[in-house]
Chain A
């Protein structure tokens, strides 16, 4: 029989006992809905967690340090021969090194981890001592600034600053509980004086230090406690002020390394405490790390954290999926029951069809098509149901989180592959459930079936 004829006959038969088939389809729908909602919860949570990590920049970020910085300087304290014989001095982390790392294939950008101790004051206010952190313009979409009040820097070179909420409160002598929005109203658009020590390389070697004062415009307030993330990697929290990276670099603020590595600094110009390397993809971390180590620097990253995180989520998904499938298994038994009942009821009809020439295959296909129609309609209904459950929970959780003062997040996520997978799964489950009743119907002999009243 032709596929279209089969489906037509199947839907006609299903319509004949509407209530029973509707209930069966509903059973499948509930099964599929539980599968979809369980799995989408697992997927949503995983996405939330890995997005958080991704946007925090931990995954695709390496920190590069001069070789001597970790594990001492390569000398033991006892005055004996060095354990690691350095060729000469450890390789300096200077502009040349920065450019060399930037040229590596998997590297998106390299920027120094600048720490700028300075005094800050509003127009005529008293100076407050703090430190500024240099933020690359690419951090604009970072998780760290998702709760920003005001706006991000207009460019990497703008004479603009964002203030950490607590430091902002300190500047205007407001209470620590003042909201970021309030502080933004009071501070955004005002001028901030920055007094710092400038390092000037001298023509004859060495450098001089002089105090300078610049004025920057306040553009935003960052509502976030300090100390989160890896200070300096992408956020620089724990510091009161954020400046655009290129602008901060142009200030030539004297760095700690200028004193520590005095000899090198004097001879070759500025060196960096550490560099932050952003990779094109987290997957490239291992190879990039190896390449940078080969150049003679130390690296530091947290890639391993995610692989164990992924394992945890795989287990969670497995359990959620198993519970969801259980409901679908129960629904499948419903299909078997409905179709076996249908055979009993339609025994005579099967006999007639066989008597006028239907083959075993024709009868089997009619029953399988009925199972498929039940499975697909139940599957579609189930996906809609599961999706709606997700929406409702997202909404409810959002309201709850807002009340708790946490920014609301969608932790329910239904990807396309889950929708298609659930439909395919319900179709396969219903065909498997239909296989036995269909085979039974196909085996009926016409004479025997017609004798049945």
Chain B
């Protein structure tokens, strides 16, 4: 995989960053079919800040997984910046996760045996970035999220908010066009959660990154997002621009 310094998304005014048509994702569990995503059609424009709301089990995380290239739809199409993810071979889908999509999680998901700097560097290793350049870019990214002095700490030595900021630094290190966040504030107190949302909004506004945040905190969504998508039982039940 060749690393290419992807142009900042603002330079690419895609009318439509993400588009799904009649998207389904079904699971077989114990002989029963679980229709986690059951016919979702949405279009998200480049540079939008969307919040995906819904109760537990509504299918919002499953939808996010499909859009982020971590899962494949059972049927229907999902096109991101003109690429049909459903038909992409495994290696190219990995390339999509590496360079086009950035991902942050509720559980932060930093690798515990690595220092913060190494965690942030990791996607660049997969992208074959030179060691020297890697180190410099990772330090810059940590500085941007306010963790320059924590570079050599292991994740367990950091607070939840610090870990999530580290995870954001890692998610944006390869300059993705879209940032996917799955309950990024779920494990944080409200003040820290607000800080994280603030950081995400900055990325959206300053870098023009398209953002899709899954959350069940409606207040937070209303405060930061420009568009609210609501899900229940696998289908889209709300779509409004604030």
Residues of A participating in the B interface, judged by any CB pair closer than 8 Å: 1-2, 4-5, 9, 12-13, 16, 348-349, 352-362, 445-447, 450
Contact indicator B97/A356 (Cβ below 8 Å): yes
Task: List 9 A-B pairs, Cβ < 8 Å.
Answer: A1-B128, A5-B125, A12-B113, A354-B97, A356-B122, A356-B123, A359-B95, A362-B126, A450-B70
Report the minimum CB–CB distance from A90 to chain B (whole Å).
84
Pairwise interchain contact B91-A360, C-beta atoms closer than 8 A: yes
Residue from the list A13, A16, A348, A359 in contact with B90, Cβ < 8 A: A359
Residue in contact with B126 in the complex, picked from A12, A358, A446, CB distance below 8 Å: A358
Contact A361 B91 (CB under 8 A): yes
Known contacts A13-B113, A357-B123, A447-B70; 6 further A-B pairs (Cβ under 8 A): A4-B131, A348-B109, A357-B127, A359-B91, A359-B126, A362-B94
CB-based contact B95/A357 at 8 Å? yes
Task: State whether A354 and B94 are in contact (beta carbons under 8 Å apart), knowing that A349-B111, A359-B1, A447-B71 are contacts in the complex.
Answer: yes
CA distance A16 to B127 in the complex (A): 24
What residues make up the interface of B, taking CB atoms closer than 8 Å to A? 1, 65, 68, 70-71, 90-91, 94-95, 97-99, 103, 105, 109-111, 113-114, 122-123, 125-128, 131, 170-171, 174
- Complex Cα gap A190–B110 (Å): 90
What residues on A are CB-neighbors of B123 within 8 Å? 356-357
B149 to chain A: closest CB distance in Å? 23
- A366 CB → nearest B CB, Å: 10
- A9 to chain B: which residues have CB within 8 Å? 125
Q: How far is the CA of A362 from the CA of B97 in the complex (A)?
A: 13
Q: How far is the CA of A357 from the CA of B101 in the complex (A)?
A: 9
Q: A5 to B91, alpha carbons, bound, how many Å?
A: 19
**Which one of B103, B127, B128 has the highest number of Cβ atoms from chain A below 10 Å of its Cβ?**
B103
Nearest CB of A to B177, in Å: 14
- B61 smallest CB distance to A (angstroms): 9
| A1 in contact with B126 given A355-B109, A358-B94 (CB within 8 Å) | yes
Q: List residues of chain A with CB within 8 A of the CB of B103.
A: 355-356
Query: CB-CB < 8 A to A450: which residues of B?
Result: 70, 105, 109
Which 8 residue pairs spanning A and B have beta carbons closest together?
Answer: A357-B98, A359-B94, A446-B70, A357-B97, A447-B71, A352-B109, A447-B70, A356-B123
Contact of A356 among B71, B95, B113, B170 (CB under 8 A): B170
Cα A432 to Cα B95 in complex, Å, equals 28
A1 to B131, CA, bound (A): 12
Cα A19 to Cα B105 in complex, Å, equals 32
* Most interface-central of B97, B99, B174 (chain A CB within 10 A): B97
Known: A355-B70, A355-B97, A359-B94. A2 touches B128 (CB 8 A): yes
Contacts of A1 in B (CB 8 A): 125-126, 128
Please indicate the chain A residues that have their CB under 8 angstroms from the CB of B128 in the complex: 1-2
Tell me, rounded to whole Å, the shortest Cβ–Cβ distance linking A430 to chain B.
Answer: 22
CB distance from B17 to the nearest CB of A (A): 18
Q: Are A445 and B113 touching (Cβ within 8 A)?
A: no
Most chain A Cβ neighbours within 10 Å, of B90, B94, B95: B94
* List of A residues within 8 angstroms of B171 by Cβ: 356
- Pick the contact of A445 from B1, B71, B99, B126 — CB < 8 Å? B71
Residue of A nearest to B72 (CB): A445
> B1: nearest residue on chain A (CB-CB)?
A359
What distance in Å separates the Cβ of A82 from its nearest Cβ neighbour in chain B? Answer: 89
Report the separation of the CA atoms of residues A12 and B118 in the bound assembly, to the nearest whole angstrom.
Answer: 11
Which residues from chain B contact A348 at a C-beta distance below 8 Å? 109
Give bound CA distance, A447 to B66, whole Å: 9
Q: CA of A283 to CA of B58 in the docked complex: distance in angstroms?
A: 85
Q: Which residues of B contact A360 (CB under 8 A)?
A: 90-91, 94
CA distance A360 to B93 in the complex (A): 10
| Alpha-carbon distance A358/B123, docked complex (angstroms) | 7
In the complex, how many angstroms separate the beta carbon of A442 from the nearest chain B beta carbon?
A: 9
B113 contacts A447, CB within 8 Å? no
Residues in A whose Cβ lies below 8 Å from that of B113: 12-13, 16, 349
Please pick, from A13, A352, A357, A358, the residue contacting B174 in the complex, using a CB distance under 8 A: A357
Rounded to whole Å, the gap between the CB of B29 and the closest CB of chain A is: 12
Cα separation A361 to B94 with both chains bound (whole Å)? 10
User: CA separation between A360 and B113, bound complex, in Å?
Assistant: 21
| Complex interface: chain B residues within 8 A of A358 (CB) | 94, 98, 126
Residues of A within 8 A of B170 (CB): 356
Residues in chain A near residue B174, CB distance under 8 A: 357
User: Could you tell me if A356 and B70 are in contact, using CB atoms closer than 8 angstroms?
Assistant: no
The answer for the CA separation of A382 and B76 in the assembled complex, in Å, is: 57
* Alpha-carbon distance A9/B125, docked complex (angstroms): 10
A353 to B109, CA, bound (A): 10
Is the Cβ of B98 less than 8 Å from the Cβ of A356?
A: yes
Q: Which residues of B are found within 8 Å of A349, using beta-carbon distances? A: 111, 113
Residues of A within 8 A of B125 (CB): 1-2, 5, 9
A103 to B19, CA, bound (A): 93
Closest to A17 in B: B113
Q: How far is the CA of A399 from the CA of B105 in the complex (A)?
A: 69
Most chain B beta-carbon contacts within 10 A, residue among A348, A356, A447: A356
| Bound form: Cα–Cα A446–B64 in Å | 13
